[in-house]
Each structure stands twice: as C-alpha cells, then as structure tokens.
Amino acid sequence: MSRPAGRRAAAATLRATIAQAAPTLRAASARLWQRPGLPGRYRGYLCAMHAVVRASVPVMEFAAGRCAELVDDPVGGPLQAYLRHHIEEERGHDDWLAADLAELGAGADPAGLLAQPPPAAAALVGPQYYWIAHVHPVAVLGYIAVLEANAPAVRLVDRLTSAGIPERAVRTVREHAVLDTGHTEQVFSLLDELPLTEEQLRLVSISGLQTAQALVGLYLHVLRRNPPA
C-alpha cells in the first residue's frame, strides 16, 4: 500500500488539478460581489454557506468514524487524527454565520435556517457521504482542500462594508480570510504524509473536482435568487 517509487507528491498533484477549477470558482464567486443588490445577495450567500458549513463537522465525524473501522489500513490512523483535530477547529462556525445573519436583521432563527436548505448545498455535501461510506474516508480531504484553498480574500471585508453591510455582520468572512491559510497548509501537508495508493489519490482528486463543480452550482443558486439589479 506504500507510494510507488517515482510517483509525484500527492499535494502537488492535487494542487495542479484543482488549480484548473479555481478560475471558474473565483469568477462565479465574483459575480456575487457586484455592487447592485449586494446586501441582499450577501444575505443569500450567508444562508447558502450556513447550509454547507453546518455539515462540516458531521461529515468529518462520519469520516473519522469510518477511519476507526478500517483494519490494516495505514491511512486510517493519521487521517482520523487529522480529522479529530480539524473538527475542533471548525466546530461552531455555522453559529458564526447565524450570528452574521442576525446582525443583518435577516431572521437567523436556527429553525428557519435549517428548514429549507438549498438543494445545491445537498449536492455539494452529499457526495462526501457516498465516497466515505462506500469507498474510503480519505475522499473528504479533496472536499476540505477545495474549501480551505479558496478562502475569502481580506479585501472582501472592505467591499462588503463599503456597500453598507455592517462590520459586525462580516465576522465569518473576516475570520476565515485569516484562519484558512494555515488550514490549507495542514491538509496539503497531510496528503504528502499519508501512504496513499494511486487509487486513493485519484479518489481525493475526484472528490475535490466534484466539490468545485458543486460549489459553482451553489453560487449560481445564490445569484439566481438574488440577481444583480
């Protein structure tokens, strides 16, 4: 199960692959931040991201649980250790989003937020449950890598506040612009440390690409609901 001699580093391979998805992700995201109608669209974006982020810890806990079930799998132990650590880093971030929504006066009642998540959020998170349950929990690293490697830029805070959005309603964007740089390095370092088979690395790559594809769909969902005026 060890890495074949001469095989490329896993992190470099994944970086090269998902880098090709980044322009579409950034362009789709950028459409959200056009000035006309930005406050309303920001609210839609927070709701959509809440639907996604509320699943972050449960997905990772599911993957960590599957790791614990693996027998004679050299990936399971270190992957589980990473996930247990990252779960604590991500815990409660859905509450940050709910608090930002409350600051917008946008009805951040938890029951209301949970009642009707967009199908695009389920399309984003759902594949992880399949890959983790039926193939291998290492798939979740592709999901995490894409999310962490595409954190908000610090300057987004200025763009939002200059459009009249209260500073106190952009906490999640501001915090993640700083936090996720370190988290990105953690996940890519882990990829190089794990004794991944060729098939497992392909699974991580597929998971990452599928994540990017679904994220574009999620952004377009927000845009359709809140088009630039």
Partner 1 sequence: MNRHRYSLADLEANGIPTHALTAEQLEVLRDLTDDEFTLLVDIRSRLEAVGPDVQAHSDIAGAALF
Chain residues in the site for partner 1 (CB under 8 A): 8, 12-13, 16-17, 19-34, 45, 49, 52-53, 56, 93, 97, 146-148, 150-153, 155-156, 159, 172-173, 176-177, 180, 202, 205-206, 209-210, 212-213, 215-216
Smallest gap from residue 79 Cβ to partner 1 (A): 21
Distance from C-alpha of 204 to C-alpha of 200, rounded to nearest angstrom: 6
Residue with Cβ nearer partner 1 (97 or 169): 97
CA proximity to 61, closest of 122, 146, 129: 129
Distance from C-alpha of 187 to C-alpha of 85, rounded to nearest angstrom: 11
Smallest gap from residue 28 Cβ to partner 1 (A): 5
Smallest gap from residue 172 Cβ to partner 1 (A): 6
Residue with Cβ nearer partner 1 (106 or 222): 222
Question: Which one-letter DSSP state was computed for residue 137?
Answer: G
Residue with Cβ nearer partner 1 (134 or 155): 155
CA proximity to 99, closest of 32, 53, 163, 158: 53
Distance from C-alpha of 173 to C-alpha of 114, rounded to nearest angstrom: 21
Residue with Cβ nearer partner 1 (43 or 67): 43
Question: Which one-letter DSSP state was computed for residue 158?
Answer: H
Contact 201, 10 (CB under 8 A): yes
Smallest gap from residue 53 Cβ to partner 1 (A): 5
